[in-house]
Structure 1
Amino acid sequence: MDLNSVRTVVPAAAAGRWQPGDAWLAGGTYLFSEPHRHLRRLRDLTGEDWPPVTDTPRGLDIAATCTIAELARSTTVRPTALRELVRRCCEAFLASFKIWNTATVGGNLCTALPAGPMISLGAALDGTCLLLTAEGGRRELAVADFVTGEGTTALVPGEFLRSMTLPAASLRSPTALRRGSLFVGGRSAALLVGRTDPDGSFVLTVTASTVRPVQLRFDALPTAGTLRQAVTDGIPAERYVDDVHGLPRWRRHLTLLFAEQIRAELVGRSPR
């Protein structure tokens, strides 16, 4: 879609101070998908030439401009179990190759749709977002806290997402994923990831069925009854998404079903 209210597209590094009507441009698959009549100028991040995926002492650093295709085929993503989780999250887009080669990890996070699978990936592994401003401001925020609601984030005017870091401590933890939708090729109605850590603790991350990520933490793998009660108590009815892709009651049913399937799969699996 043409954004005919936009008057200028400038490289991000040369854009200067943030102005009303500015927006950051990376992949643009959401930006150009519908009217944004308040926009006047796009600050183009695509020329920043950030490496898509970098292995660092802290963990795996994924640039905001990394496309879904680049992440899915990256040989930097290790070990095999992590690569499988990344692949399944990328495939949760259920998008054409055109979208895979244009949509970015950062765009998926910043759009903050409940079904955003990069949100699921980052939150499930306790990822952190690096937020910058053109004036040199810098802060870090957990992915689970970055998304504040359906379509809303913790970004303030002038900030942009530079990267998402998946911490080294989580990269070798066994994980299990479950995803459901109304029909084959449909948007995720529930996407849950469970993780067991070296200290024996268990983390369940609920996305897609809820308006923002929900994490439930246990000192050890819980019993089926304990987990069901924790999900019931930890996710109030108003936090379930209500839209054409699934009613709240059904999403809650999927969440409880998938939570137990994940728990059962992870029994006996320990981090390497």
Structure 2
Amino acid sequence: MDLNEIVDIAVVGARNDLAQLGTSDAVIAGGTWLFSEPQPGIRRLFDITGLGWEPVTVETSGLELAATCTVERVSALSRELPPDWIAAPLLHQCCTALLASYKIWGSATVGGNLCLSFPAGAMISLATALDATVTIWRADGSDRSVAITEFVTGAATNVLETGDVVRSVFLPAAALRARTAFRKIALAPLGRSGAVLVGRLDLPTDGGAFALAVTGSTTRPLSLRFDTVPTPDALDAALDDIPDDVWHEDAHGAPDWRKAVSRVLAHEIRQELS
């Protein structure tokens, strides 16, 4: 879509260039959502691809994905990560939760998906399942690291303030070494995700904890945590503690349906990882 109110596009070459960001500006990397609908009030675009960030950095401590890393690149990592990172298939699985063509996969970015903060954000599901932290370049020149479950505050809302830019997301090695189980459901075979749940069972050497990421069905990502694989009753109790107003409602699913299917998927995951 033509954005006929845009009067300037600035290619960002250094962090200092971002100091000009204001309320009538927008950051662009892939632009797959930005150009999908009118953007009233936006007059200038800041293209951060000129910063030349390395899309993927593998370290012994974990995996860093630049905000400009594409969904396509994330998917490919499932075949490239160290063999002891047995959660690697989850990267591709979460990418499949993003209803999009291969053209979108080649342009859409991790940062864009996080910043939109939609309940069905596929990269949000991945980040929640693997205990990710998001690094933010603050408008005042400082850096801030925040857990993904704190970064997204609601449907299409997050902690970013005017002038803030997401720099990267970090997935710790301990989570990447864990066993995982993935479940997704939608009202239609090609519909937007109504619920995306991921279970993770850490290795005994990493503490042996069990975590359940509840996304897609809720307005913000949730991580339910247990010392080990929970009993069915303990899992039900944790799900019951989710406030009613957190279950999401839109054209892709009613809150009661999302709550019900999330419970079914959660128990399937518990059984798979037991």
Q: Tell me how many residue pairs correspond in the alignment.
A: 266
Match for residue 106 of structure 1? 111
Displacement of 1:16 in angstroms is 3.9
Contact 1:126 1:167 in 2 (8 A): yes
Match for residue 266 of structure 2? 259
Counterparts of 1:207 and 1:78 in 2: how far apart (Å)? 27
Counterparts of 2:2 and 2:146 in 1: how far apart (Å)? 33
Counterparts of 2:180 and 2:225 in 1: how far apart (Å)? 14
Match for residue 201 of structure 1? 209
Displacement of 1:128 in angstroms is 0.4
Match for residue 232 of structure 2? 224
Match for residue 34 of structure 2? 31
Displacement of 1:236 in angstroms is 1.5
Counterparts of 1:194 and 1:265 in 2: how far apart (Å)? 9
Q: Which amino acid letter does the alignment assign opposite residue 53 of structure 1?
A: V
Counterparts of 2:158 and 2:52 in 1: how far apart (Å)? 25
State which of 147, 151, 154 in structure 2 corresponds to 1:146: 151
Match for residue 3 of structure 1? 3
| Residue 128 (1) aligns with residue 133 (2) | yes
**Secondary structure of the residue that 2:263 maps to in structure 1?**
helix
Q: Which amino acid letter does the alignment assign opposite residue 219 of structure 1?
A: D
Question: Any residues of structure 2 matched to 1:1-272 within 5 Å, and which?
Answer: 1-12=1-12, 13=14, 14-74=17-77, 76-79=80-83, 81-133=86-138, 136-197=141-202, 198=204, 199-233=207-241, 235-267=242-274
Counterparts of 1:221 and 1:126 in 2: how far apart (Å)? 17
Between the two proteins, what is the percent identity of the paired residues? 48
Dislocated runs of 4+, deviation >4 Å? none
Counterparts of 1:70 and 1:113 in 2: how far apart (Å)? 21
Displacement of 1:215 in angstroms is 1.2
Q: State the TM-score, normalizing by the size of structure 2.
A: 0.93
Q: Which amino acid letter does the alignment assign opposite residue 256 of structure 1?
A: R
Unaligned runs of 5+ in 2: none
Q: State the TM-score, normalizing by the size of structure 1.
A: 0.94
**Secondary structure of the residue that 1:81 maps to in structure 2?**
coil
Unaligned runs of 5+ in 1: 268-272
Match for residue 270 of structure 1? none
Q: Per-residue displacement from partner, 1:243-267 (whole Å, max 9, x unpaired)?
A: 1111111111111001111000001
**Secondary structure of the residue that 2:181 maps to in structure 1?**
strand
Contact 1:93 1:117 in 2 (8 A): yes
Q: Which amino acid letter does the alignment assign opposite residue 191 of structure 2?
A: G
Counterparts of 1:210 and 1:40 in 2: how far apart (Å)? 33
Counterparts of 1:151 and 1:94 in 2: how far apart (Å)? 17
Displacement of 1:216 in angstroms is 1.0
